[in-house]
Structure 1
Amino acid sequence: GLLCGFAVCNELPSLAFLAFVALVGTFKFPKQTIFVYLPCAALPILLLLASNQVAMGQWRPAYSEFGSPWYTYEGSHWRIFDGMIRRGIDWARYNGESRATYTFHLLLGHHGFFSLTPVFLLTLVALARTPFYQHSSKSWGFLALTTVIVGAVVIVFYIFKSDNYGGFAVGPRWLMWVAPIFLLTAVPVIEGMAKSKTGRLIALVLLIFAVLAANYPGWNAWRHPWIYDAMLDSGWPGY
């Protein structure tokens, strides 16, 4: 509960994960969920809200109010006037990128969750096989369901509520926090691949590209992904 609450403090959409765990826990372990999980989850969130009240005079976090005066004050990077020309990834939608194109690049393109970390494709394989997979642990079904629901909620949320891929970052910054869930869900497929040389080779290649994306460039995470830079070098005009 404490960790789920702390996750919400860092990424507001992780509230979907906190709520899903609470919902399942209420049915399976009602007393523990109500008297332990929920109070522990509430503690860091209340501290966050209290610190906002002390610092800014309001309970609501400023980063939940994009477009408000907290972002559009005089001299702000985010302040735009009619007819103003702005360039760079922060202005992708402003410069005409469609939602369909944004969705593609968020998942499979220059900031793609799956193109930059292709090992997550194994997660999709695992989820597709779930109805036919007899796993020894009863927790597998819960993990798969968690991945589907939380992953879908977060991805859809950011497709419609964001337009800059998280800004200058080596990947889709909005989606990075779901990586542990996706990796755990891929374990059954990885175990199967480990039984053959071909499977191990494929897994290794996928992992190499994931490591490349995570460490490019290694000295500063606040840079564009390698796919984005490769597209620019190939003549793509960028934003």
Structure 2
Amino acid sequence: MKDASEKGIPIAGVYTLLIVIALSVVSGRIATVISREGDTPFLSANDRSRWCTIAALVENGTYQIDPFLERRGIKQNRRPWATIDLVRHRGRDGQLHYYSSKPPLLPTIYAGVYWCVSRTMGMWLSDHPIYVGRVILWLVNVPTLLVFLLCTILALDRVTHSVWAKCFLAASVCFGTMLLPFSVALNNHLPAAASAAVVLFIFVRSLQVPTGHRWWLLAGLAGGFTAANELPALSMTVFWGGLLLLVQRRALPAYSAGVLVVAAAFFATNWIAHQSLRPPYTHRGDGALITTLDQAEPTDDQLRSALVAEDLASEQSQIETGPSRDPRRTRVVVDGKQQFGLIRNADGVSQLRHWDDWYDYPSSYWVDGKRRGVDVGEPSRLVYFANMTVGHYGIFSLTPIWLLMPIGFLGLLSSRSTELRLLLAVIALATVVCAVFYLLRPEIDRNYGGVSVCFRWMLWFAPLWLFAIAGPAEWLSDRPWGRWLAYVLLAASVTSMSISLDGPWQSPWLYRFWQYLGWLAP
């Protein structure tokens, strides 16, 4: 296959055309995106959780989302802002409040966009959710998608020579992954993938063009932002640092500085929102020990005495007790605003602890008996692994172009440059680390990412896996049967993606098909 200059093919024009089409498809979907009930552009509890935070920050100056949860829509019995992705804990005012369970950094950034929109248009999101919501969604998602598309394509262009491979990979970037469906709703996966693409491009570019500290600072900001949006991606952030230590040591200080800036912002927004450095979704257990009681079932007076002794209540305080989602734990509420946990031990004594299970609150969805479908969790790790790879949520079954990825990792033994072989090794290692991380999660967390069109927790790998398939695509381009095989894989991936363009928060088409066949319970 002759290269682009020999054939006279304007490859930059092909790239531009594909990117314009992809952005236009997403823009059209955003322009018409609407909830099932027709009163908001919010498609699920997942994105509603972030929308609540964005609105609360700009309209009320707080991360507390209580007022939005009860707002009524077109139908009076409908609460279009309600979400199950929330936590409850004591706020700065001493009262119990609801908050989004999502890390607050990304919604805080998006709230800045909303602030500009509200000042320009003179409209509140809560009053005009469809109109203002679509404007904000376009302003944050389309530029982010553009960054992903542009950086990934430019990185792949630098490591491929065949025109056919370049075009195949560019088409795969634009239409072969599940990122387009995720571009029509507010989520953390699109910015994570875009950030990973930025680091990939800067690293690949540095192998051919002298790269200054500003570029590496940008790479650090992008690497840190990837981890801020996908916590397990912290492994790749660290691996990028290790890779630079091996091949671009002078870049490491600037890269590290960028990561530290994002880390500071991540922990600062967590502290401002929750008075905790830990993200809200990590608060799911028992808090620090207050005292030990000799009774397995202490009375309210005994509880009062213990709390008064620790200066956590007064003699006049009202003490209420009730069940929690943990059978061994009793909820203790003081004056309706402070919570503690009474843990019964088998030896006839009990422990009084601070409350740290933010998912345990009245009407919580995250208790046994209320969770439904995939949210119940998969008991078998073997079944979970099968479904997350080749099953109904399968990485390979829903996006068949990823079948070339393991072959690409064999490029570790190819004649490519040492730096590129090391990069492939790092991507392979991060893939295994993250897959094992999700596989070893407790049963309640083995839910495939909930109701979504794919195994979304590893979607941020898209630019890195596309880099991994560049080698196989180049090899297939020289063989007629290889090109036809690639066409089939790309066609199947694009078909799978297009089925999901209604929005990311629906079960994968394979899951729904298996339900239709009766293989899965409805």
TM-score by length of 2: 0.42
Write the distance in 1 (CA, Å) between the matches of 2:271 and 2:407.
45
1:11 aligns with 2:299: no
Instruction: Give the Å deviation of 1:24.
Output: 2.5
Tell me if the contact between 2:411 and 2:424 (Cα under 8 Å) persists in the aligned partners.
no
Q: CA deviation at 1:56?
A: 0.8
Structure-2 separation of matches of 1:196 and 1:38: 43
Tell me the equivalent position of 2:450.
Answer: 167
C-alpha contact (below 8 Å) 2:392/2:510 kept by paired residues: yes
Provide the residue aligned with 1:70 in structure 2: 358
Q: Report matched runs for 1:147-166 at 5 Å.
A: 147-161=427-441, 162-166=445-449
- Higher relative helix content: 1
Say if 2:390 is the partner of 1:108: yes
Name the structure 2 match of 1:88: 373
| Equivalent residues, number | 230
Supply the distance in 2 between the matched residues of 1:113 and 1:32 (Cα, whole angstroms): 34
Aligned residue for 2:499, secondary structure, equals coil
- Give ranges in structure 1 of 5+ residues lacking alignment: none
Residues in 2 aligned to 1:121 and 1:187: alpha-carbon distance in whole angstroms: 12
Q: CA deviation at 1:171?
A: 0.3
- 1:200 alignment partner, SS class: helix
TM-superposed CA distance for 1:122, in Å, is 0.6
User: Does residue 1:43 correspond to 2:261, yes or no?
Assistant: yes
- What is the one-letter code of the residue matched to 2:479? S
Tell me the CA shift for residue 160 of structure 1.
1.0
Select between 20-29 and 194-203 the one with higher mean Cα deviation.
Answer: 20-29
Structure of greater relative contact order (alpha carbons < 8 Å, 6+ residues apart) = 1
Displacement after TM superposition at 1:140 (Å):
2.0
2:441 equivalent to 1:139? no
Q: For each residue in 1:162-209, what CA deviation from the matched residue of structure 2 results, as whole angstroms up to 9, or x when unmatched?
A: 300000110001111112111101101101111222111111111122
Kindly indicate whether the alpha-carbon contact (under 8 Å) linking 1:119 and 1:207 is maintained by their aligned counterparts in 2.
yes
- In 1, Cα distance between the equivalents of 2:501 and 2:258? 36
> Which one-letter code corresponds to 1:153 in the other structure?
V
* Mapped partners of 1:26, 1:188: distance in 2: 25
Number of the residue aligned with 1:59: 277
Question: Which has the larger Rg?
Answer: 2
> Which of 236, 239, 245 is residue 20 of structure 1 equivalent to?
239
Residues 20-50 of structure 1 show CA distances to partners (whole Å, capped at 9, x for unaligned) of: 11123234444431x2111101111211111
Report the AA paired with residue 265 of structure 2: L
Letter in 1 for 2:261: L
Q: Quick check: which one's strand share is greater? A: 2
CA contact (8 A) 1:49 1:59 kept: yes
Q: CA 1:12/1:181 → structure 2, altered by over 3 Å: closer, same or farther?
A: same
Identity, % of aligned positions: 31
Aligned mates of 1:85, 1:17 — CA distance in 2: 35
Shift, 1:237, TM fit: 2.9
Contact 2:400–2:492 at 8 Å: present in 1 too? yes
SS in 2 for 1:215: helix
The answer to whether structure 1 residue 220 and structure 2 residue 508 are counterparts is no
Residue 380 (structure 2) aligned to one of 88, 92, 98: 98
Matches of 2:269 and 2:493, distance apart in 1: 37
What is the Cα deviation at residue 86 of structure 1? Answer: 4.2
Q: Which residue of 1 aligns with 2:146?
A: none
Partners in 1 of 2:228 and 2:401 — Cα distance?
28
Alignment correspondent of 1:209:
492
Look up the match of 1:193. Answer: 476
| 1:39/1:195 CA distance change after superposition, 3 Å | same
One-letter identity of the residue aligned with 2:389:
L
**TM-score normalised by L of structure 1:** 0.89
Cα deviation for residue 146 of structure 1 reads 1.3
State the 1:17 CA deviation: 0.5
Q: Give the root-mean-square deviation of aligned CA atoms.
A: 1.8
Describe the SS at the equivalent of 1:79. Answer: coil
Distance 2:497 2:358 in 1: 31
Which 5+ residue runs of structure 2 have no aligned equivalent? 1-219, 286-355
Letter in 1 for 2:260: A
Q: 1:25–1:72: structure 2 CA closer, same or farther, 3 Å change rule?
A: same
> Contact 1:72 / 1:78 at 8 angstroms: preserved in 2?
yes
On the 8 A contact 1:170/1:213 being kept in 2, the answer is: no
Deviates more, 1:52-61 or 1:22-31: 22-31
Residue 150 of structure 1 aligns to a residue whose secondary structure is: helix
